[in-house]
Structure 1
Amino acid sequence: MRIHVLQHTPNEGPGSIARWSQKNSHEMTVHHPAHFQDVLPKAEDVDFLVILGGPMSPNDDLPWIAEERSLIAQLMVQHKPIFGACFGAQQIAKVLGGEVLDASL
């Protein structure tokens, strides 16, 4: 299985997901779209997408945030598994048409 992880902050890595992936001989690639302008994977190269947390909001007007949502939407159409934690879950909610309120509101 080809697992792609979107990591948004240096101190919040894939942790147990990385250990599970290695133990089960899955191929795992970590992308850093928020910090290194990393190119996101193509949907056809992803079997399972993991979207980690971060201090940003899915309401922020940053190109990489919109690109992530586009990838999520493509994977949903293909019925591929996606796991989101914190910011990742908010990104999934936005793709599904949900509203994400900022904490300051």
Structure 2
Amino acid sequence: MSVKVFDTQEVQALLKAAVNLDSKDGNGRFKQILQRLLGDLFKAIDDLDITPDEVWAGVTYLNKLGQDGEAALLAAGLGLEKYLDIRMDAADKAIGIDGGTPRTIEV
């Protein structure tokens, strides 16, 4: 397909509506995070020309993980947990804390 629609007014309005930005209700920080993550996903679909079948295969995979109670395993397997540790280690080092026991199993 190779079309780019992320920067269109229609997609930006969809993104804004999806995270309910115009409402005073809800948590502002959550809306900020969701808008960024959903926007990055939309952009990745454009940039990588991800097909509808690939999107739905991903949704099916996430549904299965949730049903099996194994979503946390995905976070560790993709390196998300380790990335968070790296960020926390850097924050500790910035305030002079260095060394100690690793937060998670080293990869």
* TM-score bracket, shorter-length normalisation: under 0.3
TM-score, scaled relative to structure 1: 0.24
Structure with the larger strand share: 1
Greater helix fraction, Structure 1 or Structure 2: 2
Q: More relative contact order in 1 or in 2 (CA 8 Å, sep 6+)?
A: 1
Larger Rg: 2
